[in-house]
Amino acid sequence: MIENLPTFISLTFGLTTFATLQFFIWTIRNSNSEVTRKKATPIFIGLILWLTIQAGLTFKNVYNADTNSFPPKRMILGILPMILTIIFLFATTKGKQFIDSLPLKNLTYLNIVRIPIEIVLFWLFLNKVIPELMTFEGRNFGILTGITAPFITYFGLTKAKMNRQKILIWNFICLGLLINIVVNALFSTPLPIQKFAFDQPNIAILNFPFSWLPTFIIPIILFGHLVSIRKLLKHKTGFQTKETTKG
């Protein structure tokens, strides 16, 4: 835990983490495939276990201790398993069946969590545990993704007022914004690869509950954009009618 950090910041981030989890499970439960819907509970349990493991590693100072080690422990124990899972899903037949059954509307709504995340990052900057460049006053414009997500979902996917190309471009832009903050956050962290923010490094994500940002929230958002892009590229015509949302 970060000393002297106002409790409401950690609480808000913790609630945002579980909101991200609920959005993701909601997406699975609204799949057009019964097989996928049945996986919602096991996936929920698995992700709760994953969050618990990450919390345990953080509380034991695994990520905070020996930050000069290379490769960083956070990368090996926290980020790599999620990235490998995403690769596995996109590379296997059953994995592709799973991701192709996920509803595009729900995946787009998932990006709303970017709003509280960016607000929390700003609060963390004010408390001098991350650099300004990680906020919307610096190089991070990810809040635009969260703000525009409901409009893209409603006008583009519900009312079909936007064509596939525009929604695809939106996803590519938002993916670029995500990669931008990931790169800046990585190179601002006190690790051997640090390049920025030496006066006010990114120490928040080495502490609980903010370690959940790179080990859970970002991979989920990344997964959502990659799945959305795949679906939009795959269904070049009539993509709005390819899905049925169940709630």
Q: What is the DSSP string of the chain?
A: --TT--HHHHHHHHHHHHHHHHHHHHHHHT-S-HHHHTTHHHHHHHHHHHHHHHHHHHHTTTTTS-TT-SS-HHIIIIIHHHHHHHHHHHHSHHHHHHHHTS-HHHHHHGGGGHHHHHHHHHHHHHTTSS-GGGSTTTT--THHHHHHHHHIIIIIIIS--S-HHHHHHHHHHHHHHHHHHHHHHHTTSSSTT--S-SSS---GGGSTTTTHIIIIIHHHHHHHHHHHHHHHHH--SSGGGS-----
Helices 80-91 and 93-100: angle between axes, nearest 10 degrees: 90
Alpha carbon 190 to its chain centroid, in Å, reads: 22
Mean pLDDT of 184-213: 80
Query: How much is the mean pLDDT over the chain?
Result: 89
On whether the pTM is more than 0.85, the answer is yes
What number of other Cβ atoms are within 10 A of residue 18's Cβ? 12
pLDDT category at 184 given cuts 50, 70, 90 is confident
Tokens 């006053």 -> residue: 137
d(CA 204, CA 128): 9
pLDDT category at 244 given cuts 50, 70, 90 is very low
Mean pLDDT of 3-14: 94
What number of other Cβ atoms are within 10 A of residue 188's Cβ? 25
HSE-CB at 188 with a 13 A cutoff on CA atoms is: 26
pLDDT value of position 189: 77
What number of other Cβ atoms are within 10 A of residue 161's Cβ? 11
Q: For residue 186, give both structure tokens.
A: 């990585």
pLDDT greater at residue 67 or residue 203: 203
Res 204 pLDDT > 80: yes
Res 92 pLDDT > 70: yes
Question: Residue 178 phi/psi, 5° resolution?
Answer: -65, -45
